[in-house]
């Protein structure tokens, strides 16, 4: 039996719920696990009815799943506590399988120690904003299952997207495709370098379609996920099921299509999926780091298909757009920074909007922790080590993992393992955050580096560390120190 103090309750809970059937998940929705002692897991629900349903409909299956996940016999005790449940993060949504690993108790000796730690799962980033509206208006299990399918990030909407000359056309094409799916531009291919907003537009299309046509079936998928789906389906002899899954979709949003280069079976499957959807006037939108004509090892017939619709390029934003993006970011994330600081950051970070946002977050986090406000001098000091000088050598995931391992006293193998002890989780999340911030790797690529984790795990880690940096000196310092070490190693190598 594992030591209960070592059990990460929320992730055990989430993983257990994820194994339930869609019908059963509905009765667990909104429940919040409170504590685990001597094999008794106390869970809070909203009211009497929720308790009765949980008790009568899913108790055996849930206890079984919890027992498997926790590695010890678990019995459930269900209490009613509306206040606790109101605070429950959206990750309890039955429709969404997300990340792993929060922590919430004292941490043992390690550099990655934060005694005041109040980690909690917080994956609202994965919960579409229209969930609540839909719940109120439709609310049924099948509708919620649809939301899982869509896998949209609520932060990426057209309203949060700043339009400038570098992305105006791509934005207009995206809106047009969302307003008239399958009719305006089909397929729509959005291409451009890393961190320029392609994924943002892809999700925004999904949100907009669902807002306009609530019953439509939308699915966002990274092409790495598509590749995995194909490989698994072939290995498990369930290709017909895979075909059904993708061909029943009304709007298919495929991120980073360049990853299917060199993957013959995937290309074959995608070709047929593409044809099936296109023949039925279903909308297909894809992003790529290059124009399809430059995807050299992509089969000619696919390249040919991709040129049927519209291809639009996103370019690095000009200074004004960068400042406007920072302003918008500051407003939506409630970060306070004066105009000269925004201009300073925008003038220093020119090619990657993710890096632009990261710089703003670091500067405001530092000020927040020190009970001061951001001014130009502070921003210059804080960002000294973060901002690349243009000729800086490339930083790799390997460097980040090696430095994190050395600094945290964990091994690289442990960072990639499934072990969820609290300090290790924090070290792993910081390393994932740094991969996101300092490299151009996609979420699935980063997940792959860390023992084949799902891209939602990386998304969660990024969000978690951003939040913790603004709240915890220790975490801010660890991230800053590690960044400096990684940059130094990159310069020396
Ligand atoms: N025009 C914009 N307005 C507001 N935010 C933007 C804009 N463009 C990009 N961003 C933000 O920049 C970050 C990076 O964007 P995104 O992930 O969409 O880039 P990408 O082109 O898909 O990169 P990659 O190819 O590496 O996946 C996101 O947080 C996104 O919200």
Q: CATH number of the domain that 247 lies in?
A: 3.40.50.300
Give pLDDT tens digits for 143-153. 444 548 678 98
pLDDT average, residue stretch 451-456: 89
Q: Is residue 276 a part of any domain in this protein?
A: yes
Say whether pTM exceeds 0.80: no
Give the angle 486-194-330 at the CA atoms, nearest 5°.
80
Shared domain check, 227 and 148: yes
* ipTM reported for the complex surpasses 0.90: yes
Between helix 473-492 and helix 455-471 the angle, nearest 10°, is: 120
- In a shared domain, residues 51 and 155: no
Predicted confidence (pLDDT) at residue 458 exceeds the cutoff of 50: yes
Same domain, 225 and 163: yes
Gap from CA of 352 to ligand 1 centroid (Å)? 8
**Mean pLDDT, the chain, as a whole number?**
81
Assess whether 423 and 368 both reside in one domain: no
Does 104 map to a domain?
Answer: no
Are both 178 and 305 inside the same structural domain?
yes
pLDDT in tens, 182-211: 987 899 999 999 999 999 999 999 999 999
Total tally of structural domains belonging to the chain: 4
Q: 168 and 238 share a domain?
A: yes
pLDDT in tens, 271-298: 999 999 999 999 999 999 999 999 888 8
* Residues 340 and 363 both lie in one domain: yes
Whether 347 is in a domain gets the answer yes
Ligand 1 atom nearest the C-alpha of 156 is 31
Q: What percent of the chain has pLDDT over 90?
A: 44
Pocket of ligand 1 (CB under 6 A): 156, 160-162, 167, 194-200, 289, 325, 328, 353-354, 357, 440, 442
Q: Is residue 421 part of a domain?
A: yes
CB burial string 246-259: b at 16+ within 10 A, e below: bbebbbbbbbbbbb
Alpha-carbon distance of 413 to 401, in angstroms, equals 10
309 and 366 fall within a common domain? no
Torsions phi, psi of 10, nearest 5?
-65, -35
User: What sign does the dihedral 263-447-460-357 (CA atoms) show?
Assistant: negative
Out of 62, 80, 98, a domain closes at 80
**Is pLDDT of 107 > 70?**
no
User: Does residue 329 sit within a domain?
Assistant: yes
> Are 42 and 34 a contacting pair, CB within 8 Å?
yes
What residue numbers does the annotated binding site for ATP cover?
Answer: 195, 197-199
- The closest-lying atom of ligand 1 relative to the alpha carbon of residue 441 is 26
Q: Which domain holds residue 289?
A: 142-313
Task: Indicate if the pLDDT at residue 92 is higher than 90.
Answer: no
Is residue 177, in this structure, part of any structural domain at all?
yes
Edge-first strand order for the sheet with 218-222 is 218-222, 251-255, 283-288, 188-192, 310-314
Q: Domain with 37 in it: what CATH number?
A: 3.30.300.180
Q: Compute the residue count for the chain.
A: 493
Q: What pLDDT is stored for residue 351 in this prediction? A: 84
Q: Which long-range contacts (CB under 8 A, 24 or more apart) does 168-174 make?
A: 169/312, 170/197, 170/198, 170/201, 170/312, 170/313, 170/314, 171/201, 173/310, 173/312, 174/201, 174/202, 174/204, 174/205, 174/285
Cα–ligand 1 centroid distance for 467 (angstroms): 19
């Amino acid at each position: 039996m594992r030591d209960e103090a070592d059990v990460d309750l929320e992730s055990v809970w989430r993983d257990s719920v994820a194994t339930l059937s869609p019908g059963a998940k509905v009765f667990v929705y909104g429940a919040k696990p409170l504590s685990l002692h001597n094999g008794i897991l106390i869970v809070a629900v909203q009211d009497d009815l929720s308790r009765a349903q949980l008790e009568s409909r899913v108790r055996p299956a849930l206890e079984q799943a919890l027992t498997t996940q926790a590695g010890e016999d678990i019995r459930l005790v269900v209490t009613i506590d509306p206040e606790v449940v109101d605070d429950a993060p959206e990750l309890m949504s039955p429709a969404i399988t997300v990340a792993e690993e929060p922590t919430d108790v004292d941490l043992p000796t390690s550099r990655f120690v934060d005694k005041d730690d109040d980690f909690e799962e917080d994956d609202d980033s994965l919960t579409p904003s229209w969930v609540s509206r839909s719940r109120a208006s439709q609310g049924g299990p099948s509708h919620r299952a649809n939301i899982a399918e869509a896998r949209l990030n609520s932060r990426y909407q057209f309203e949060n997207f700043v339009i400038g000359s570098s992305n105006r056309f791509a934005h207009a094409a995206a809106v047009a495709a969302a307003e008239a799916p399958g009719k305006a531009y089909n397929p729509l291919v959005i291409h451009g370098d890393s961190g320029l907003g392609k994924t943002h537009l892809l999700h925004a299309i999904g949100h907009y379609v669902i807002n306009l046509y609530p019953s439509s079936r939308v699915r966002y998928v990274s092409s790495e996920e598509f590749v995995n789906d194909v490989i698994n389906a072939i290995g498990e002899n369930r290709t017909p099921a895979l075909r059904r899954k993708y061909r029943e979709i009304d709007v298919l949003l495929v991120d980073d299509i360049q990853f299917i280069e060199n993957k013959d079976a995937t290309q074959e499957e995608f070709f047929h999926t593409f044809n099936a959807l296109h023949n039925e006037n279903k909308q297909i939108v894809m992003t790529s780091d290059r124009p399809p004509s430059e995807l050299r090892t992509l089969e000619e017939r696919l390249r040919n298909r991709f040129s049927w619709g519209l291809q639009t390029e996103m370019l690095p934003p000009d200074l004004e757009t960068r400042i406007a993006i920072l302003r918008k970011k500051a407003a939506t994330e409630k970060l306070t920074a004066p105009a000269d600081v925004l201009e300073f950051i925008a003038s220093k970070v020119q090619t990657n909007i993710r890096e632009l946002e990261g710089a703003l977050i670091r500067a405001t986090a530092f000020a927040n922790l020190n009970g001061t406000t951001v001014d130009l001098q502070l921003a210059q000091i804080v960002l000294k080590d973060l901002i690349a000088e243009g000729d800086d050598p490339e930083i790799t995931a390997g460097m980040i993992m090696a430095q994190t391992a050395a600094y945290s006293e964990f091994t690289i193998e442990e960072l990639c393992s499934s072990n969820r002890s609290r300090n290790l989780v924090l070290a792993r999340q910081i390393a994932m955050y740094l991969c996101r911030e300092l490299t151009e790797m996609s979420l699935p690529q980063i997940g792959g580096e860390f023992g084949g984790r799902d891209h939602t795990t990386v998304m969660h880690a990024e969000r978690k560390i951003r939040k913790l940096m603004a709240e915890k000196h220790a975490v801010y310092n660890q991230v800053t120190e590690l960044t400096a070490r990684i940059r130094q190693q990159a310069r020396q190598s």
